[in-house]
Structures are given as structure tokens and as C-alpha cells.
């Protein structure tokens, strides 16, 4: 297939494997790149030295293009960015932060930059910051999410009217027909997360993979909206949060319930 996203990343299929904390290390990223998509190492859960190891292993495992997802909310971002530049990584997807912060620095280093957005305001901000494409991530997506709750089906045509750079659709895409639907709406590529998180090459725990595979409609809910909106599988922790929220827990109480390192559990 030939389109702007295949050309931008020099890949065969316009399918990006979303960067995912605790799931997308070098094994998953290189497997997706070797299969003709774009694999992304998810740097968000990695200490800088661990991240560097993943970069080196990924380079050994594939001679195809791969990239790195950099969520902009972690304290080690500067160090991660320096490792990216040091090892000549050519593709960076930023998320969860201000696209103006690193885009021009990365572009000056010859890096293709994509930013993940969930609404019109950030799509325009990302375009103004000079990114090469955006990931438009709808309400259906796993992981962190926008509070607007705009679905992928609504977000793509809305952003298509708003911006001129290519759009990669994300959220709820897990089959050939949903890829086709995203392209019909005006996206030129897709970013897939949950499906890849449950793959053999994902570094997630087997129990987590099985939870994703056995999840049905109504199995997840966007929650913790006042702290950090995130789609949770309805498990014991979800019930604790729901109970606290129904009792009117404050933001501080929810932050303390969330604790540190919760996303690894």
C-alpha cells in the first residue's frame, strides 16, 4: 500500500503499534516493524538505562524503521530524548503533554515527530508546533484518554476538517474492517494498542493478556477523570475507585488510592 503514512515512515502497511508502558519493548516493536508496520518502543515505563538497552536490542532485531513513544509526563523525559538522538532514532511519537516542548528540537535533529491528541485544541496545537502527523485517539482507546470522550468515529472527520497534516486513527481498532473504516473517515493510518498488548511478543503479564482477550462489551470504563483519565478493566481496583468516587472522594484521596507504580500491577 502507498499513502502518506507509508511514505512518511517508509513502511509497507499504514499500521502503527502504539507505544504502551509495560507492553511494548524491543520484542514487540521489532516484530511489528519486521512484519511491515511501524513498531514503537514504549519508553514511559523504562529507566533511561533500560530504555537504551531496548533501543540497542531493537536495532539488532530489525533493519526496518521503528520508533519510540515518549509520554511527556515523566521526569526522565530529557534523558530519554538524549538517548533517542544519540542512537539516531528517526521516528518519535510524543503524548500526554505539550507538543511544543520537544518538537522543534527533535525536528532539528532530522527526526519525524508525531503527537497523540484526543481533541481539536491539541490537534491544532500539535500542527502549529510543526509535527509531521497526529495520532487522533478516540474514547475507545486503552490507556490514558481525553476527558472529552469523543469517539474515534467522530474525532477523525472532525480533525480532518481542522488540520492539514496526516491523521493516524487510534481507539477501538482491532480488525481489517475497522482499519478500513478509519481510512474511509479520512485517516491515513491506524495506531493499535490493546490488540498488540495481548500478543505473544508483548511484555505484559500473561494474566493481563488473558484479561484483554476475555474482555467483552462493558468490561472496561474510562475512570479517574478528575486525576488522570484512564480506561480500566472492571476489577477489584476499579471497584475501589468507583466506590471512592461515589462517596465524593477528593482529587487528593483518589491520587493516594492510585498510589505509585499502579500501572505495573
Ligand X SMILES: Cc1cc2nc3c(=O)[nH]c(=O)nc-3n(C[C@H](O)[C@H](O)[C@H](O)COP(=O)(O)O)c2cc1C
Binding site for ligand X (CB under 6 A): 18-21, 23, 42, 44, 69, 71, 95, 116, 137, 140-143, 170-173, 191-195, 197
Q: How far is CA 105 from the centre of its chain?
A: 21
Surface-to-core class of residue 217, CB atoms within 10 Å of its CB (0-12 exposed, 13-18 middle, 19+ buried): exposed
Closest to ligand X by CB, 151 vs 253, is: 151
Residue nearest to ligand X (CB): 193
Closest to ligand X by CB, 127 vs 198, is: 198
Closest to ligand X by CB, 116 vs 165, is: 116
Give the nearest distance from C-beta 248 to ligand X in angstroms.
29
Can you read off the three cell numbers belonging to residue 264?
A: 505495573
Give the nearest distance from C-beta 68 to ligand X in angstroms.
10
Contacts of range 10-15, beta carbons closer than 8 Å, 24 or more positions apart: 10/65, 11/36, 11/37, 11/38, 11/64, 11/65, 12/36, 12/37, 13/37, 14/168, 14/183, 14/188, 14/189, 14/190, 15/179, 15/189, 15/190, 15/192
Give the nearest distance from C-beta 37 to ligand X in angstroms.
13
Give the nearest distance from C-beta 59 to ligand X in angstroms.
21
Give the nearest distance from C-beta 250 to ligand X in angstroms.
26
Closest to ligand X by CB, 166 vs 171, is: 171
Closest to ligand X by CB, 44 vs 166, is: 44
Phi (first) and psi of residue 80, to 5 degrees? -60, -45
Amino acid at each position: 500500500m502507498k499513502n502518506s503514512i507509508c511514505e512518511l515512515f517508509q513502511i509497507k502497511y499504514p499500521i502503527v503499534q502504539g507505544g504502551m508502558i509495560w507492553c511494548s519493548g524491543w520484542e514487540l516493536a521489532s516484530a511489528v516493524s519486521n512484519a511491515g508496520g511501524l513498531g514503537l518502543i514504549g519508553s514511559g515505563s523504562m529507566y533511561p538505562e533500560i530504555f537504551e538497552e531496548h533501543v540497542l536490542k531493537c536495532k539488532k532485531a530489525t533493519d526496518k524503521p521503528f520508533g519510540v513513544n515518549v509520554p511527556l509526563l515523566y521526569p526522565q523525559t530529557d534523558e530519554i530524548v538524549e538517548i533517542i538522538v544519540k542512537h539516531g532514532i528517526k521516528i518519535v511519537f510524543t503524548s500526554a503533554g505539550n507538543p511544543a516542548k520537544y518538537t522543534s528540537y527533535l525536528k532539528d535533529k532530522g527526526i519525524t515527530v508525531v503527537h497523540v491528541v484526543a481533541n481539536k485544541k491539541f490537534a491544532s496545537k500539535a500542527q502549529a508546533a510543526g509535527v509531521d502527523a497526529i495520532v487522533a485517539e478516540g474514547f475507545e482507546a486503552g490507556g490514558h484518554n481525553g476527558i472529552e470522550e469523543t469517539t474515534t468515529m467522530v474525532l477523525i472527520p472532525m480533525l480532518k476538517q481542522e488540520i492539514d497534516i496526516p491523521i493516524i486513527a487510534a481507539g477501538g481498532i482491532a480488525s481489517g474492517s475497522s482499519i478500513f473504516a478509519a481510512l474511509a473517515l479520512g485517516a491515513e493510518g491506524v495506531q493499535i494498542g490493546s490488540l498488540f498488548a495481548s500478543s505473544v511478543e508483548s511484555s505484559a503479564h500473561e494474566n493481563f493478556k488473558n484479561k484483554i482477550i476475555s474482555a467483552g462489551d462493558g468490561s472496561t470504563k474510562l475512570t479517574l477523570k478528575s486525576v488522570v483519565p484512564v480506561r480500566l478493566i472492571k476489577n477489584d481496583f476499579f471497584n475501589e475507585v468507583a466506590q471512592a468516587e461515589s462517596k465524593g472522594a477528593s482529587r487528593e484521596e483518589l491520587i493516594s488510592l492510585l498510589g505509585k507504580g499502579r500501572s505495573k500491577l
